[in-house]
Amino acid sequence: MPNAHVICGEGGTFIHLGWTTVSSFAPTERFPLAALAVALGTPFIDIRPVTDVIAFANLPRVVRGGSVDADHSGAGQSVSLTTYIDMVEALGAKVANDPRPSQKI
């Protein structure tokens, strides 16, 4: 599914599948559905290392359904998963099963 991903933070684990989100207060390894999704290659974003919670809270959400509305900005803005990963990784998040094309020099 476009933009499907798993996020693990201090509050638990969330699986975002387009229009649906499934969550548990358990970490990924104790949430079998999330662990299976990650094992099958779903992008995994570990936000536990992020210390700037204000900057994290102000990030846009990942677009639902796979299409970005380029004309929409400000509150409620949505970005592609790859753009979101760029932003959250800059805050210190760790990414596994990275969907971004590798950039070799």
How many structural domains is the chain composed of?
A: 1
Contact call for residues 85 and 97 (beta carbons, < 8 A)? no
pLDDT band of 81, cuts 50, 70, 90: very high
Q: Is 51 among the domain residues?
A: yes
94-96 vs 44-46, strand pairing mode: antiparallel
Confidence (pTM): 0.83
pLDDT of amino acid 53: 92
Give the pLDDT confidence of 9-56 residue by residue, as tens digits. 988 999 998 778 899 998 888 899 999 999 999 999 999 999 999 999
CA-CA distance, 13 to 33, in Å (whole number)?
10
Q: Which domain holds residue 29?
A: 5-96
pLDDT band of 71, cuts 50, 70, 90: low
Q: Is 55 among the domain residues?
A: yes
Distances (CA, A) of 77 to 36, 42, 46: 30, 23, 22
Contact call for residues 54 and 14 (beta carbons, < 8 A)? no
Q: What percent of the chain has pLDDT over 70?
A: 86
- Token digits of residue 40: 């099958």
